[in-house]
A and B are shown apart, each in its own frame.
Chain A
Amino acid sequence: MKNFDTIIIGAGHNGLICAAYLALGGQRVLVLEAADTLGGLAATREFYPGFKTSIAHSVSQFSTKIVRDLDLKAHGFKLGKALATVGLGDAGDHVIVQQGAVSGVSPDDASAYADYRQLLRRFADVLKPVWLKTMPRIGNNNLSEILTFARIGLKLRLLGKDDMGEFLRVAALPARDLMDENFDSDLLKAVLSWDGLIGSKMAPRSPNHTVLTMLYRMSGEYDGDHAIPAGGIGGLITALYSSAKDAGAEIRTGAKVGRILIEANAAGLTATGVELVDDEQIMADRVVSSADPQRTFLELVGTQNLEIEFSNRIRRLRCDGYVAKLHLALDGLPEFSGLERSDGRMIIAPDLDAIEFAFDDAKYGESSERPVMEIVIPSLHDPSLAPAGKHVLSAHIMYVPYRLKGGWTDEAREALCERIIGTIEHYAPGIREQIVHRELLTPLDLEQICNVTGGHWHHTEFALDQMLMMRPTYEAAQYSTPLSGLYLCGAGCHPGGGLMGGPGHNAAHEILK
């Protein structure tokens, strides 16, 4: 009574991409989404009557290959213009990074930035062939897998002797050191390291992971520039939905999977379908989960069906989110002192120490005394997100721990919210009077709204020990898992989180092999 070849758990962008590819490959595909809306962290939500936004508020690396393959343009996807990244200065002395150039800094820094960007682009280029490929296990490799390694090796070599050596050094560097080596402006340093830090439990001084994250974000087709698609982030999801639908995939919302059905036979365990929380069972040849690894294995599969060390390796994945989300419904466009246009990505982090010290609070389970943040006003890019003349402010706040000492009480939320608005007010005097409604989503809230363990953007930390053929663990890094018939396609797999689409794409290709 099998109706489907493949069931995909979760209709985030990766789930939808995977579904679209599989359906195009001729499979009968069913996508099950627990929430009532599609998109997961990229879903557009109405947080106050008439005011909408999504958790993710910009796109920096969505794969153009996927756009082509799935013909997303025909389905209405159109990426907006690159956003300027603005470091808000204390006295209106802002640093603006736009179109490969930086303004508001000394000539030395400006020219250093050009070199720096060149170098990082070259490095990011080395990693490019990696993202849309399955990373092979180290072991008995076949020719195509060896070629994957060889291609990276070749790319490295082609950098030339000096750059290659430098790459091997810089890749493991903390963001702070890279910044200190290149720039003088404190604000510029903070702004440029931002993309290496946000979404993770890492600070500017944390070695081994932060520069890599930066390179990851730069290795999309837009060189790390952020943009907002037509129709907001929801526009991307709508296009993906439409593409998957056209290809023949069936997509159900409000269908929360309670567990993955598993059958034992002489060869071992096989996933045969899913059971929804309302006890409905749906069978399929295979189950593909775009849920995070902890949810997939520990909740949906259950440890009794897993190996002991494997389940403990899944347990120890760093899945606690450290970013909160603030949504403000505003009755007018806020004015940031000394800033002409507020349609960019505005970063409030005066220097690297400010970020570091905000992190120090969070590492002990306290929410930062002086939070640092990234602000976007999505309604400037997509008027449909707010009533005419009104606006939405969307901000990512760091560092806000998932596990707050004493728990996330109303008082704790309120206090944090006040601190954040106080900070914003410093740069945008008068904003407080414009606020119609405010919503603060802690990582704990994100977990509940989006069904992501720990509320972590990337499902699990993007870091050296949790990337490539180690993401999420070496036994499950090729999208297949220790259980036959069970696959992963979420951000917890290589290449990782962010609105890129790599995991969904790669998983589909593994399955279709």
Chain B
Amino acid sequence: MKQYDAIIIGAGHNGLTNAAYLAKAGLDVVVVEKNEYIGGAAVSRELHSGFTYSSFSYVCSMMRQTIHRDLNLTRHGLLLVPYLGTVNFGDDGRTLVSYHSKEVAYNQLRRHSPHDADSMFRFQTDLTRYAQLIRKTLLRTPPDPTSFRPRDIREMLFLAKEFWALGEKELYEYIRFFTISAAEFLDDYFEDDLIKAAMASPGIIGTALGVYSPGSAYILLHHVMGDVDGNIGAWGLARGGMGAISNAIAGACQEHGGEIRTNAGVKQILVRDGKAVGVTLENGDELRAGIVVSNLDAKRTFTQIMDKNDLPPGIYDKAKNFKIRGSSGKVNIALSGLPKFTGVPDNRYIDRGGQGFVGSLETMERAYDCWKHGRWSDNPFIESVIPSAWDPTVAPPGKHWMSNFIQYCPSKLADGPWTPEKRDRFGQTVIDKIERYSPGFKDLIVHMEVLTPHEIEAGVGLTEGNIFQGELTIDQLLFNRPFPGYAQYRMPIKNMYMCGSSTHPGGGVSCACGANAAREILRDLKLPNTVPKDDCYDE
């Protein structure tokens, strides 16, 4: 039996990043993946002839450029391009186009509300300020506030210093921002409901909170604090789909000697004498290693692939109580042509952006209410993008695929378990809504892939289909992520680590969790650190 230095469970972007950095440090690593494909939720597959869907995650902005550069991901085939704004559709028939040029965008907002057009400058300034502070923590290990170790104290002081540098007023504003709802935050800037709805929509994506729920302002930030080439808030598409990111990281990992095994689902993490020593695969194989790293979410890790008896007291309950709520669905559609939307200028720049079917704040909130009742709304919030409008590699010439992300879709229905029939009805709800804004849309449909939380969990193992591997609320952020006392990637079992989005800094295709975990592992092994310092945030 081969003895590895490290086994990484799950070949998602964080697992691959983690493996790449460990391999770079000279460790003999293997990544085991239950699916026949790698990438986890950052995957692109040809599911219909000629159409390559990025079934789960579909755009990217959290990706740390420092890692992109450091792992030479461009050489491994990655090309990230910012896409051009979004058209937001209101229930009242109005549209709000977020044009790429600041001046033109200003004119567009002015059409809806001169006041809000002006306020947008202040809004962006404030959001940038908030984002800058968080961005500095992304590639750092959160401090343990209960510890007196010099390193934790140093890190606490770093946070305090950065916080302090905001100045008194902004410091208080920041605390407020962190705790309030997206809607309340936006009330301070905007009057127009469509503008508010468009700005609030990032605050609910992927979360079991509504636009009026306290805490959703932070989620909003989480979605706009990324950047493409330093433009904070910009979103990018990967050429070839999100899978290109995973493939590039896998390339880097393999270049450093890392091994990746697909169709190798882990049945259990093996623990001997309180130490993780390897894993048993579903096919019965046993792999041994000095270190086991789980890229699965915290709940799945501790409640599915570990023996409760191997865990110290309390951990199982913490994992069980870990908030990881399924609230999103995804509908991927192959189209025989580019859909046209009512009320939107017919030009190729706008085609290269996304669509936000936001409706209004109340529409979004009522969709959340439906979720609480265990059903989906007839008028859900949909965020769409047509990657093929820009990327020639993901659909045949003249044909397109459209990614539709739906908030909310419950993981547990009030009227019993998900069935294929209910799933199809959910898909129907989505295309019905799009059809309202794009007459003739349904006639363009060549193929559809409908993913409810149930399918997301079954497909890529995210518990309840939660895209962040755990809610992004204060009780599960920074040193509380995934649980207090275990935020530094080390888990309660010796030689066991976590590197998924259940750890700081949380969800999003950022590669940061994997890189941070690698840094901590190498530190414990007393090996030279291969993970770069984030040098891309002096802004």
Contacts and interface: CB of A to CB of B under 8 A. Distances in A.
The reply to whether A and B meet directly (CB within 8 Å) is yes
Contacts of B169: 309, 474
B213 A139 contact: no
A316 B212 CA distance: 15
Given A164-B146, A168-B480, A172-B475, A207 B215 contact: yes
Interface string B208-229: 0100111100000000000000
Interface centre among B147, B178, B362, B475, by most A CB within 10 Å?
A: B475
A464 B179 contact: yes
Interface string A187-207: 000000000000000100111
Contacts of A356: 372
Interface stretch (A173-181, A257-265, A269-277): A173-181
A207 B146 contact: no
Given A161-B485, A169-B475, A470-B172, A207 B213 contact: yes
Interface in B196-254: 209, 212-215
B299 to A, nearest CB: 13
Nearest to B372: A356
Contacts of A207: 209, 213-215, 473-475
B290 interface: no
A170 interface: yes
B323 interface: yes
B168 interface: yes
Interface in B283-323: 317, 321, 323
Interface centre among A139, A177, A207, A363, by most B CB within 10 Å?
A: A207
A100 interface: no
B171 interface: yes
B179 to A, nearest CB: 4
Contacts of B321: 177, 180-181
Contacts of B474: 172, 207-208
A57 interface: no
A364 B179 CA distance: 21
A170 B214 CA distance: 15
Contacts of B212: 363
Interface in A447-470: 463-465, 469-470
B369 A465 contact: no
B180 interface: yes
B1 interface: no
A364 B362 contact: yes
A351 interface: no
Interface in A130-172: 137-139, 157, 161-162, 164-166, 168-170, 172
B130 interface: no
Contact of A470 (B176, B365, B480): B176
A205 B215 CA distance: 11
Contact of B484 (A168, A309, A357, A469): A168
A67 to B, nearest CB: 33
Contact of A209 (B214, B369, B372): B214
Nearest to B145: A168
Contact of A474 (B172, B187, B372, B480): B172
A306 to B, nearest CB: 15
A209 B179 contact: yes
B484 A465 contact: no
A331 interface: no
Given A207-B209, A470-B175, A173 B485 contact: no
Contacts of A360: 369, 372
A364 B183 CA distance: 13
Contacts of B484: 162, 165-166, 168-169
A118 to B, nearest CB: 15
Given A165-B146, A464-B179, A138 B214 contact: no
Interface in A351-367: 353, 356-357, 360, 363-364
Interface centre among B147, B179, B180, by most A CB within 10 Å?
A: B179
B320 to A, nearest CB: 9
B221 to A, nearest CB: 15
B473 to A, nearest CB: 5
A353 B362 CA distance: 20
Contacts of B475: 169-170, 172-173, 177, 207
Interface string B353-381: 00000000010010001001100000000
Interface residues of A, number: 40
A202 B372 CA distance: 15
Q: How would you classify the secondary structure of chain A's contact residues: helix, strand, loop or mixed? A: helix
A172 B146 CA distance: 17
A208 B372 contact: no
Contacts of A137: 168
B188 interface: yes
Contacts of A469: 172
B401 interface: no
Interface in B314-335: 317, 321, 323
A146 to B, nearest CB: 14
B21 interface: no
A363 B210 CA distance: 12
Contacts of B215: 207-208
A363 B181 CA distance: 13
Nearest to B478: A168
Contacts of B145: 164-165, 168
A357 B212 CA distance: 14
A316 B180 CA distance: 12
A208 B187 contact: no
Contacts of B187: 316
Nearest to B214: A208
Interface in B473-494: 473-476, 479-480, 483-485
Contacts of A138: 168, 171-172
A363 B176 CA distance: 20
Nearest to B168: A139
Interface string A288-311: 000000000000000000000100
Interface string A275-289: 000000000000000
A208 B472 CA distance: 12
Interface in A469-494: 469-470, 473-474
Contacts of A169: 475-476, 480, 483-484
Contacts of B483: 169
B314 to A, nearest CB: 8
A309 B168 CA distance: 14
A464 B175 contact: yes
8 contacts: A168-B480, A207-B214, A209-B179, A309-B169, A357-B373, A464-B179, A470-B172, A470-B175
8 smallest CB-CB distances across A and B, nearest first, come from: A165-B484, A172-B474, A465-B176, A464-B179, A207-B215, A208-B214, A208-B179, A474-B172
Interface of B: 144-147, 168-169, 171-172, 175-176, 178-180, 184, 187-188, 209, 212-215, 317, 321, 323, 362, 365, 369, 372-373, 473-476, 479-480, 483-485
Interface of A: 137-139, 157, 161-162, 164-166, 168-170, 172-174, 177, 180-181, 202, 205-209, 309, 316, 318, 353, 356-357, 360, 363-364, 463-465, 469-470, 473-474
Given A169-B480, A474-B172, 14 more contacts: A161-B147, A162-B485, A166-B484, A168-B479, A177-B475, A205-B213, A205-B372, A207-B209, A207-B214, A207-B474, A316-B184, A316-B187, A318-B184, A356-B372
